[in-house]
Amino acid sequence: MAFSSSSWHFTSLFVIFQLLWSGNLYANGCYTSIISFGDSLADTGNLKQLASITNRVFPVLLPPYGENFYDQSTGRCSNGRLIIDFLGATALDSSFLEPRGILNTMTNASLQVQLSWFKKSLRSICGNASGNLPIGCSSAYLTICGSEKEEYDNTTGCLIRLNKFAEYHNELLQTKLNQIRELHPDVIVIYADYYNAALQIYRSPDKFGFTNGGLKACCGGGGPFNFNSSAECGCPNTSVCDQPDTYVSWDGIHLTEAAYRLISENLFQGSYTTPRFNSLCPTLTSQVRDKLSTSM
């Protein structure tokens, strides 16, 4: 399932993280790198590279996207960092780290060499498959799929039928993951429950500092939810809020950095992953949690 606009595409249903484990850390359950295969929820710049090749201009490459990131124009579909940025909290370019006294050994191995490493590491891969977000709370779908009053959840304002669809998807995904676990008992497969990690925010946005609510987009072309498919964020005749951190939704489809940070914290605390993420590598989990709390 995908939401398609005039200039770019968004697919929210499936994101995969591949966590490669080095031999000496595998026994301790600690990963050394993250390779993310995903859509606009996880894309940290591939669309930007694609634009340079195809000579196309995507709204996501224009202001105000990335306005709160270190170098702004990043290709990320948000005002700042994504969940994958928080999970891989040290995955920043050396030009950002070195002036701050952080030394980071870089590798320039060819793609062929990297694929060779991937094949060799296949049996010691930890796969992380994430469930779908509560799409019934998306500003875009609330605008496009407007319904009768009784079709909305009284506690969140979200569309019940779309969230039920997301729940159904997640149930099927977990069934498939269990099958993979049975076929590959030597592979650790983690299910990340994006749905419930995000749903608690939509139920009580004020509690988490989202004083402008969970349903109205920070950046958009107007309307009840500030989403207009004919005037998307980054296009002319759109506006952007002054305080993105008080909004859950960034552009009606994707979330703000503040929302992604909170979801990341929920995942690292362990209650929204199966098995619990912090049980696999408690030391590393604690370190990343500390970084999340100080990265405001």
Show which residues are catalytic: 40, 251, 254
Q: At what angle do helices 257-269 and 282-293 cross, to 10 degrees?
A: 150
For residue 19, what are the β-bridge partners?
Answer: 34, 126
Residue whose pair of structure tokens reads 């076929």 in the numeric block: 183
Neighbouring residues of 105: CB distance < 8 A, sequence distance ≥ 6: none
What are 68's two structure tokens? 């709160």
